[in-house]
Amino acid sequence: MTKAASREINHARAGFLALRDELQARHADLDLAEVWDGMKRSERKAVLLSATIIKPDSGSKKPDDSSNHRAELLTTPLRQMSVEDRVAIRHAIHRMSAFASGLKDRCHKHSASRPVELAALARTALDKGDMTAARHFISLIETAS
């Protein structure tokens, strides 16, 4: 076997081993545990609500067992949760991430078309002879650039 062929095999093996390690970490929920550990208490609460693991506060002033359970879940390490809860949390995070990405995309599309909309408004104002409005829209376009 040539040195070049040996290097290719070792490179392919290294890629396989990295993939295997990543899959093992995912199976052990290490990636999810890292995300969970980095979350603030309010973020954890939102994820648990989305995963329907906890129910929204009833609004009553009287503490009950369910509110104590909620407080415990917010501080429970992921490794101590049931497999079902971890799966629900993973799905909730994916849903929330996809939703946030969609909002970001929509906002980006809207901001990209804003100068075009302002230019159309400026043209309309010019057609009507409203120079004050036309200057206003042009200044908005200039400050956006």
Per-residue pLDDT tens digits for 9-60 = 666 677 778 777 777 766 667 788 888 999 999 999 999 999 888 777 655 5
Closest CA to 86 of 114, 40, 47: 47
Q: Rounded to whole angstroms, how far apart are CA atoms 66 and 60?
A: 12
**Which pLDDT value is given to residue 96?**
93
Q: Is 82 helix (H, G, I), strand (E, B) or coil?
A: coil
Rounded (5°) CA angle 74-88-85: 55
Can you give the pTM of this predicted structure?
A: 0.53
**Which pLDDT value is given to residue 68?**
56
Ordered by start, the domain boundaries in the chain are 39-109
**Which pLDDT value is given to residue 55?**
75
Q: Rounded to whole angstroms, how far apart are CA atoms 25 and 34?
A: 11
More confident site: 112 or 78: 78
**Which pLDDT value is given to residue 63?**
47
Contact 56, 49 (CB under 8 A): yes
**Which pLDDT value is given to residue 111?**
67
**Which pLDDT value is given to residue 18?**
78
pLDDT mean over 135-143:
90
Per-residue pLDDT tens digits for 65-77 = 555 566 788 889 9
**Which pLDDT value is given to residue 69?**
62
Per-residue pLDDT tens digits for 88-137 = 999 999 999 999 988 888 877 766 678 888 899 999 999 999 999 999 99
Q: Is the pLDDT of residue 142 over 70?
A: yes
**Which pLDDT value is given to residue 83?**
87
